[in-house]
Amino acid sequence: MSRPVRVLFVCLGNICRSPVAEGVFRQKVRDAGLDDFIEIDSAGTGAWHVGNPPDRRMTATAKHHGVDLLWQRARQFVDTDLADFDHILPMDKSNLHDILYLDEGNDFGQRVTLFRQWDPEPGTYDVPDPYYGGDAGFEEVYSIVDRTTDALLKGLAAHYDLEPD
Ligand code: 4NP
């Protein structure tokens, strides 16, 4: 393969759901020995938290599960991300809508699919936004992200025929 597969997780603020998806997926990719083959980033459709670290409730939940999110900084999704990433994975349908709105030429729709389309136990297509809720919401996000990134990694490895060094 000529270059790494590029994966972008997207939510609204880039301080809760997409940072934990990025952090958990990075760890799984590293553990699988595939970090030379998969590049990972996250972004928010909104600009409110640009430059900030993830929400401390999300950071604490991830740390409890052995995943460090503290180094991450929020950035806003920009239209050039549509061309730059192979797989753009919005956390909910509203994020999906906001991303597709920026695809003015209707060129990149195939790259944009809901994150939970990979969830083996979907229930709903949305990762619930935990921002205005209690701690249980952050645990729920973590467990959705954990099982969904497992499936995502298996799916990408099979699709691109990726094998560790
Ligand atoms: P996220 O959560 O989209 O998972 O990062 C949110 C963070 C901040 C806000 C909304 C959702 N906010 O309205 O500021």
Contact between residue 11 and residue 92 where contact means Cβ atoms under 8 Å apart? yes
Residues with CB under 6 A from ligand 1: 11-17, 44, 48, 129, 131
- Mean pLDDT, residues 33-61: 98
Residue with tokens 């595939």: 34
25 burial via Cβ count (<10 Å: 0-12, 13-18, 19+): buried
Q: Alpha-carbon distance 156 to 153, whole Å?
A: 5
Q: Confidence class of residue 123 from pLDDT cuts 50, 70 and 90?
A: confident
CATH architecture of the domain covering 5-159: 3-Layer(aba) Sandwich (3.40)
Rounded to the nearest angstrom, the distance between the alpha carbon of 161 and the centre of ligand 1 is 35
Beta-sheet strands, E only, within 28-74: 38-44
Name the residue at shortest CA distance from atom 9 of ligand 1. Answer: 13
Q: Is the pTM of this model over 0.85?
A: yes
- Mean pLDDT, residues 38-58: 98
Contact between residue 99 and residue 90 where contact means Cβ atoms under 8 Å apart? yes
Rounded to the nearest angstrom, the distance between the alpha carbon of 96 and the centre of ligand 1 is 15
Domain range annotation of the chain? 5-159
Q: Alpha-carbon distance 44 to 52, whole Å?
A: 12
